[in-house]
A and B are shown apart, each in its own frame.
Chain A
Amino acid sequence: MNEILDNEKENSDQIDYSIDFVTCSAISRIGIKFLIFYIPIIWFSGYTAIAVFFDMSSLINNWIITMFLLPIWFFVLYFIFVFGIAIFTKAFLLIINMIHKPKEGVFLAEEGNQDYEFWRLRVELKKLVFWLMNNGPLPWIVMWGFRWLGIRVDFSSHMNDAWADGEFIEFGRNVTVGQGCVVMSSMVVGKYLIIKKVILGDYTVVGGVGNISPGTIMGKESITGAFSGTLPNQNLEAGWIYLGPHSARKLKPNKYAEQRRDIIYRKNVDEEIKYEVKQDVNIDEDKKKLLNNNLED
């Protein structure tokens, strides 16, 4: 039966253009021209770090103190360098975005297409910042980097163990993205580049090594299991657990979220204690007798 169906499908003239599979968001067609941006950014931020070191070390004349502070110096200079790169990259990005505004849509992934060329440029510029932040001694600062370079995310979310595109991603509160996940807002399929916004709702969890495709909307308190992937433009219903390697499908309602709500609710009520306090009335000593008489009545 299956074979007949297969033959029918293979011979049918109807062409299936639907994007019901996931590819990748790796930048295609590497070019050496990005060095034009890399060299000034690295130079400026490196010079900032060295200038700070020179100024500070000239103030401290004692070489013993300088030697004692040297390990901290390396640490501080590294972060001055990284933050310098973030700031100069942002400056370049502002100029680039003024020339060509980033937009969603389907574009031809070939040299000459303006949207594609500017997407490549933005990706390459942001890569430098995220790379340094992730490979440094404090990888958590990459959350600040994401926020700084265009992802709407607050510090209650966790994504420093995952790969994520640098634009068109919106996070709710307390989102957890697992280790080795790929959150893509752009995807290259054949000759075309697809850019669509990804929205992860409040309290969503993306399991380890998952693929989130462009256009995915995860409802509030939804979960995708480990090794799960979403299809482009897939909407995950709020409060459900999804599972599936190529296209996540409903597994069961997310009871764990309800439990969490119960705990918070019960805690507030249980901890409420009734206090009975006897108040003294500010009254003259000779009239206190009258007050007691009233109470007896």
Chain B
Amino acid sequence: MSVPSSLKVGPNTTLFLAKKRYLILYILLIWISIYTIQFEFWLFWIVYEIEKYVHFYLFLPLLIFVMYLSAIFISLIAAKVMLIIVNLIHKPREGVFLRHKSDKDYRYWSLRSVIKKWPLWISHKFPFPFMNNICLKVFGVKTKFSNSLFEGFVDTEFLSIGKDAIVGQGSVIQSAVIVGNLFIIRKTVLEENIIIGAHSIVMPGTHMKKNTILAGSSMTTVGQELEEGWVYLGAPAKKYKKNVFFEDELEHIIAAQIEKEIIPEKKLEDLYTMRKDQDTKIK
């Protein structure tokens, strides 16, 4: 519920590597959003004369709230315009690239990350869960407003999320990763009704089909395909059991199961030795 700084969650752009040369755009975005606040405050000052201090102070908290929201939206619009221009110059694409400044794709990915950083940071500095969905939608991620992405760390491009997805606390969903000197971008697809447990990591190129659960502290591999209607567990994630928890009228059965004491020593046999699939499907 509370997200302390030590958990370091939030939809900051993943693997953000600040490049000094792009910081001018970042500062420009901050300038634009603060200028908006300044302009609104000036307008408020003119409308409400300072002598009418009761009105002035009464509506000031609400104005600060509105100023905060408008700062987010203005920076979002400015960032979107910048992104359109950048994407016209060089279209973002999937693939395996070199993690070096000579690589054009890597350079432009860094540039896109720098542009997206400020609006996402400012929107995540207040606990409005829907703000993240708005930001991600503006940046081109296919997502629904019902999705719960607030507690996790979600990438901002090459990502498609179906409806009613839940991303757990401190989990990471990425579509780009750096491995040694290589830089990989793969499209991650999460279909509807998926649940990603706390502290789990979804690597680029993962395809989670609908009604899939990735249990807590688990990890998928690059390009892994998770079959429909299964609970996956482990690092790398493997089939654990069939996901029957989307069936109707199971309240009493689950309530009875929850009362039973689980002895992990017995369960560990299943967890570590008797996995249901021997070969994980990797594209």
Interface of B is mostly: loop
Contact present for A6 and B275 (CB under 8 Å):
yes
* Assembly CA distance A103 to B235 (angstroms): 35
Chain B residues with CB under 8 Å of A257's CB are: none
Would you call B261 and A247 a contact (CB within 8 A)? no
B-side interface residues, number (CB < 8 Å): 85
Whether the pair B246, A191 counts as a contact (CB closer than 8 A) is: yes
Q: Is the CB of B244 within 8 A of A233?
A: no
Complex Cα spacing A179 to B6, Å: 6
Contacts of A161 in B (CB 8 A): 4, 6-7
Binary CB contact string for chain B from 1 to 41 against chain A (1 if under 8 A, 0 otherwise): 11111111000000000000000000000000000000000
B254 at the interface (CB under 8 A from A): yes
Q: How far is the CA of A20 from the CA of B127 in the complex (A)?
A: 31
| A17-B254, A139-B4, A164-B1 given; A30·B150 CB < 8 A | yes
Q: Is the CB of B2 within 8 A of A163?
A: yes
* CB contact between A246 and one of B1, B65, B145, B271 (< 8 Å): that residue: B271
Asked whether, in the complex, the Cβ of A233 is within 8 Å of the Cβ of B262, the reply is: yes
Q: Does B196 contact A (CB under 8 A)?
A: yes
What residues make up the interface of B, taking CB atoms closer than 8 Å to A? 1-8, 53, 57-58, 60-62, 64-65, 125-130, 133, 145-148, 150-152, 164, 166-171, 195-199, 211, 213, 215-218, 231, 233-235, 240-248, 250-255, 257-262, 264-265, 267-268, 270-271, 273-278
A residues with a Cβ closer than 8 A to B are 2-3, 5-6, 9-10, 15-32, 38-39, 42-43, 45-47, 49-51, 54, 105-108, 123-124, 126-128, 130-131, 133-135, 139, 142, 145, 160-166, 179-180, 182, 184, 188-192, 194, 196, 209, 211, 214-215, 227, 229, 231-235, 244-250
What would 12 more interface pairs be, CB under 8 Å, given A145-B2, A233-B258?
A22-B216, A26-B169, A29-B148, A30-B147, A47-B57, A49-B61, A108-B251, A139-B4, A162-B7, A163-B7, A244-B268, A249-B265
